[in-house]
């Protein structure tokens, strides 16, 4: 069983890694093509492209200027420890045992507009490039076209290596769109997390992000092998709701 999650805008390159093991991203040649174009853009252009403030544009301008190979623990950090948004606060990878972090290499993938697909212990240098960014590269009109089937093929390989034809989609729609699900030889399970609001259950994005991380941790800690095992998830007040659930779309509610 393989789980996929989105990256995060917030990064942590200050705290020390809790594990010395690391691997190299498998699409660094593609990342280098992207950085070659991005480092030619002035901060003002980056601000418009990414729809960010001038200070964030300046920060990422510097990141692209400084990006270089080869990656090492001195200039990069393991992806699952470097991302620090709500999903990763829920996942809390630094508190996982070294054994679980090593096993996560076969059970988890992080989708990325800049790196394509990252294993948890793949080294990465800081960046910001959302998958939905309208960045044209050569004849490719955007990042979805740039990556083409490369992400799909790499996810299929990871599914095959995981030992079962099950994909747990805990990524956002923006990132899941980078996968051609029709070409996947796998059963896709897409959990949803809903909170009671104004008398009905609704997905509240802020809470859903953190809970995706909590479920990812639940999968890794318990080494789940069957999608029905997800029904035991009960973190942060969420519980499986059989009434709202459908095949392939388990719903967890709170409140």
How many angstroms separate the CA atoms of 181 and 192, rounded? 18
**What pLDDT, on the 0 to 100 scale, is given for residue 232?**
98
**What pLDDT, on the 0 to 100 scale, is given for residue 60?**
98
**What pLDDT, on the 0 to 100 scale, is given for residue 122?**
99
How confident is the model over 99-133, as pLDDT tens digits?
A: 999 999 999 999 999 999 999 999 999 999 999 99
How confident is the model over 130-144, as pLDDT tens digits?
A: 999 999 999 999 999
Write out 24-51 in H/E/C secondary structure. Answer: CCCCHHHHHHHHHHHCCCCHHHHHHHHC
CA angle 20, 23, 24 (to 5 degrees): 135
Together in a domain, 53 and 115? no
How confident is the model over 161-213, as pLDDT tens digits?
A: 998 999 999 999 999 999 999 999 999 999 999 999 999 999 999 999 999 99
Nearest CA to 8 out of 194, 252, 149, 174 is that of 174
Report if residue 143 sits inside a domain. no
**What pLDDT, on the 0 to 100 scale, is given for residue 116?**
98
Total domain count, the chain = 2
Q: Which of these three, 36, 54, 70, is where a domain ends?
A: 70
Peptide bond into 70 cis (omega under 30): yes
Six-digit token pair at 98?
């070294």
Domain extent, residue 34, equals: 26-70
**What pLDDT, on the 0 to 100 scale, is given for residue 133?**
97
Six-digit token pair at 208?
């859903």
How many angstroms separate the CA atoms of 75 and 66, rounded? 10
Together in a domain, 83 and 59? no
How many angstroms separate the CA atoms of 42 and 38, rounded? 9
Averaged pLDDT for residues 221-237: 97
Together in a domain, 121 and 48? no
Together in a domain, 9 and 53? no
Report if residue 8 sits inside a domain. yes
Together in a domain, 121 and 32? no
Local confidence band at 155 (pLDDT 50, 70, 90 cut-offs): very high
Together in a domain, 164 and 208? yes
How many angstroms separate the CA atoms of 80 and 97, rounded? 13
Together in a domain, 242 and 169? yes
**What pLDDT, on the 0 to 100 scale, is given for residue 49?**
97
Residue 8 is inside which H or E element, if any? none
pLDDT above 90 as % of the chain: 100
């Amino acid at each position: 069983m393989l789980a996929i999650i989105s990256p995060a805008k917030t990064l942590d390159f200050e705290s020390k890694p809790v594990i010395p093991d690391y691997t190299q991203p498998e699409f660094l040649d593609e990342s280098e093509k992207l950085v070659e174009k991005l480092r030619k853009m002035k901060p003002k252009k980056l601000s418009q492209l990414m729809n960010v403030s001038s200070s964030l544009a300046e920060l990422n301008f510097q990141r692209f200027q400084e990006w270089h190979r080869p990656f090492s623990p001195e200039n990069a950090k393991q992806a699952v420890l470097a991302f620090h948004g709500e999903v990763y606060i829920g996942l809390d990878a630094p508190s996982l045992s070294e054994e679980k972090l090593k096993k996560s290499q076969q059970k988890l993938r992080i989708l990325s507009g800049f790196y394509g697909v990252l294993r948890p212990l793949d080294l990465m240098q800081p960046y910001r490039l959302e998958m939905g960014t309208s960045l044209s590269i050569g004849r490719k009109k955007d990042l979805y076209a740039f990556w083409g089937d490369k992400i799909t093929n790499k996810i299929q390989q990871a599914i095959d290596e995981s030992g079962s034809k099950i994909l747990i989609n805990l990524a956002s729609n923006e990132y899941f769109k980078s996968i051609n699900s029709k070409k996947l030889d796998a059963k896709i399970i897409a959990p949803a997390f809903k909170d009671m609001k104004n008398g009905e259950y609704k997905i509240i994005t802020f809470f859903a992000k953190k809970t995706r991380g909590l479920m990812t941790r639940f999968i890794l800690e318990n080494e789940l092998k069957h999608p029905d095992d997800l029904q035991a998830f009960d973190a942060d007040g969420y519980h499986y709701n059989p009434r709202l659930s459908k095949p392939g779309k388990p719903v967890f509610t709170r409140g």
